[in-house]
Homo-oligomer: A and B are copies of this chain.
């Protein structure tokens, strides 16, 4: 169910882009109770002036052109501690497996409801809570 939008600079290699997707999926399944094979990701590659971040940094974090913007739409209900563990797993994984600075890992979450998904066939696969 999560849909991950991943926006990165066009000069990231195909190999690194692939690893970014794998890391996000692995972090979802290991920390956030996302089911196996529930992997849907949309990647956008960008020219330099299309990814904008504060040159002075924000909250003590500094950014480079290698910033990875990750925006995830998923079901509401995950606790704060789960989201914290997810953030950490993504940043650790991207650093360890792709050499990306942890400061360049930027994540935004959007919570939606169980009825807000169709995974194909025109069906609402997740029964809504009563």
Contact = CB atoms under 8 A, between A and B. Distances in A.
A120 B103 contact: yes
Interface in A92-109: 92, 102-109
Given A21-B52, A122-B87, A73 B38 contact: no
Contacts of A47: 45
Contact of A120 (B63, B124, B128): B63
A79 to B, nearest CB: 9
A46 to B, nearest CB: 7
A123 B87 contact: yes
The main secondary structure of chain A at its interface with chain B is mixed
A37 B56 contact: yes
B37 A43 contact: no
Interface of A: 3, 7, 14, 17-18, 21, 35, 37-47, 49-54, 56-59, 61, 63, 69, 71, 73, 80, 83-84, 87-92, 102-113, 115-125, 128
